[in-house]
Amino acid sequence: MSEFLGYERDDGSVGIRNNVVVMSTAPYANDTVKRTAEIVDDAIPITHPLGRCQTKPDVFQTYRTLLGYATHPNTYGAVIIAHAGEIVDGDELAGDVADTGRPSASINIHDEKGVMNALKAAVNEAQTMVRDASEQKRVASDMSKLTFGINCATSDTTSGLCQHKATAGAAWRLIDDHGGRAMFAETPEFFGGESELAERAVNDEVKQEILDRVERWDQRLQATGYDVRGAQPTPDNMDGGLTTIEEKSLGALVKSGDGPIQDIVDYGEKVPDGAGMYIMDTPGHGAESVTGIGAAGAHFMIISTGQGHALSNAVMPTIKVTGNPNSAERVPEETDVDVSEALVGDEAFDWATDQLWDEIEDVVNGKLTMSEALGESQFAIHRIGPST
Amino acid sequence: MPDRYLQVVEPTDNVATALRELDAGEPVTVAVGGEERDVEVQADVEFGHKIALEDLAAGETIIKYGKSIGNASQDITAGEWVHVHNVESNYGRGDLADDDQVQAVSE
């Protein structure tokens, strides 16, 4: 298959879903967002604790992340709800969304004279959008349009031995055979494997940038004055047999395969069209790294998990793959693809890649993932500095 | 025949990952590169956890994927369970950082 059925956007991107998002720019609009989404079937609420009293690096990052979701390939249109005048400006955000050709609306609780009026206005806008979105048909689109996110979740020692190999196989199939893009993240989970990773960079500048960013994370963690163990690896990683962050990292890097790295980008930053593997500089905290990759416009995300995980995203479907037979049995509702036969049975890793690829083809054409069917999702923007 | 449920990634590794539960006292044969290594399991080991393939002195590098995953924090004998109680990491060690590198954080 070199084509899939997707939703074409005016900006040239193609979605695998046709979401209407309702989004807050500050915490004081979160309840109005949630209430809007409770009333309007199919509207996706996006809430967060940020967007106010932040310093500029965080303002840029919060804005970039929110705009990434409001203009995601899988997003049809966006209703932006602001509380009052904020440093993350609702009108500006809605304007940037409209510039991509997507329907957008900006609602300000202060200007509407209260949450009741704002709720009514938001419901009216979202209702119109979901009805309009329902009329759009999927059309045949080229697979080169797709960007593939990759993330670990509750890694254990099976991750690097099995499921990450299937994940890498599928990612490089999209890149090499179909001209698509893939992106992985979680910079502290390069500790111990950074030299070999940096050697894969397409040029010396990218190589040095990878090494610098890894070093910066180690310095940030050292500055806490504490041993990072417990945060990395996490208690559930250690339950699964992972002893140090180095061991976790060396396993984690298996999911990126061994091909060239085009670039390492900032949190939530988009990558250029064209084939290739990219890194996003994020923490290893899954909710934050997955949120960042989603903001970059990844169409779907492979969650390559050891012990099983509820990690998921409302805009970017997550396909969960495990090679740990105990996890597949323990949490079947969090297992889209079980490739454990390649670890403890008689199947080859090529078989595991094929299993995952078949599921990917189904999901990009509309099959719901386990998390989508359960309505599971998290949204957590990584923050850089303090509130002020 | 080496036990297929004891996996060694690279020939230079000095630990093996157990893909089944191991019993204390159990003799196992592990494939390490083209060779076979016989060790006696020293304690019950859970699925996914590691055993040492050789005697390792305190401070020695623990190798998996052909790379360092940390150092032995105490002497480890062949067949012993290798985990957080006897291995320490070389990254994110704020507890070992100089005072001038550390920002004040209350416990």
Query: Positive or negative, the Cα torsion across A290, A223, A190, A146?
Result: positive
Q: Of A134, A163, A195, which closes a domain?
A: A134
Check: CB of residue B28 under 8 Å from CB of residue B37. Answer: no
Element (DSSP H or E) covering residue A69: helix A56-70
Q: Of A134, A169, A198, which closes a domain?
A: A134
State pLDDT tens for residues A366-382: 999 999 999 999 999 99
State pLDDT tens for residues A211-233: 999 999 999 999 988 888 888 89
Shortest Cα–Cα distance, A238 to chain B (Å): 8
State pLDDT tens for residues A241-281: 999 999 999 999 999 999 999 999 999 999 999 999 999 99
Q: How many CB pairs under 8 A join A and B?
A: 121
- Interface residue A140 vs chain B (CB under 8 A): no
pLDDT of residue A1 exceeding 60 = no
- Whether A384 is covered by a domain: the verdict is no
Beta B27-32 vs A3-8: how paired, if at all? unpaired
Q: Looking at the structure, tell me whether residues A209 and A278 fall in a common domain.
A: yes
Whether ipTM exceeds 0.90:
yes
What are residue A52's DSSP bridge partners?
none
CA–CA gap between residue B27 and residue B2 (Å, rounded) = 11
Q: Looking at the structure, tell me whether residues A212 and A261 fall in a common domain.
A: yes
Domain extent for A116: 19-134
Shortest Cα–Cα distance, B5 to chain A (Å): 7
Q: Looking at the structure, tell me whether residues A126 and A238 fall in a common domain.
A: no
Q: Looking at the structure, tell me whether residues A208 and A344 fall in a common domain.
A: yes
Instruction: Name chain B contacts of A196, Cβ cutoff 8 Å.
Output: 67
State pLDDT tens for residues B1-37: 899 999 999 999 999 999 999 999 999 999 999 999 9
Q: Of A112, A134, A156, which closes a domain?
A: A134
> Closest-CA residue in chain B for A158?
B48
Instruction: Name chain A contacts of B90, Cβ cutoff 8 Å.
Output: 192, 244, 246
Please tell me the total count of domains within chain A: 2
- Residue A163's pLDDT band, with cuts at 50, 70 and 90, is very high
Q: Looking at the structure, tell me whether residues A66 and A112 fall in a common domain.
A: yes
- Whether A33 is covered by a domain: the verdict is yes
Averaged pLDDT for residues A12-38: 98
State pLDDT tens for residues A279-289: 999 999 999 99
- Whether A388 is covered by a domain: the verdict is no
Predicted TM-score (pTM) above 0.80: yes
Q: Which two tokens stand for residue A226?
A: 């504490």
Q: Looking at the structure, tell me whether residues A174 and A126 fall in a common domain.
A: no
CA distances from residue A159 to A154, A275, A305 in whole angstroms, order as listed: 9, 26, 6
- Whether A72 is covered by a domain: the verdict is yes
- Whether A1 is covered by a domain: the verdict is no
Instruction: Name chain B contacts of A215, Cβ cutoff 8 Å.
Output: none
Instruction: Name chain A contacts of B103, Cβ cutoff 8 Å.
Output: 223-225
CA distances from residue A266 to A19, A112, A194, A382 in whole angstroms, order as listed: 25, 36, 17, 11
Q: Hey, what domains does chain B have and what are their CATH numbers?
A: 6-101 (2.30.130.110)
The per-residue pLDDT of chain A, averaged, comes to: 96
Q: Looking at the structure, tell me whether residues A97 and A185 fall in a common domain.
A: no
CB atoms B69 and A222 under 8 Å: no
Instruction: Name chain A contacts of B12, Cβ cutoff 8 Å.
Output: none
Shortest Cα–Cα distance, B69 to chain A (Å): 5
Q: Looking at the structure, tell me whether residues A91 and A150 fall in a common domain.
A: no
Q: Looking at the structure, tell me whether residues A316 and A364 fall in a common domain.
A: yes
Q: Best mutation site among B56, B65, B102 for testing chain A: the one with the most A CBs within 10 Å?
A: B65
- Whether A147 is covered by a domain: the verdict is yes
Q: Looking at the structure, tell me whether residues A234 and A258 fall in a common domain.
A: yes
CATH of residue A51's domain is 3.40.50
- Whether A201 is covered by a domain: the verdict is yes
Check: CB of residue A193 under 8 Å from CB of residue B64. Answer: no
- Amino acid in the structure at residue A44: I
DSSP string, A107-125: EETTTTTSHHHHHHHHHHH
Shortest Cα–Cα distance, A161 to chain B (Å): 8
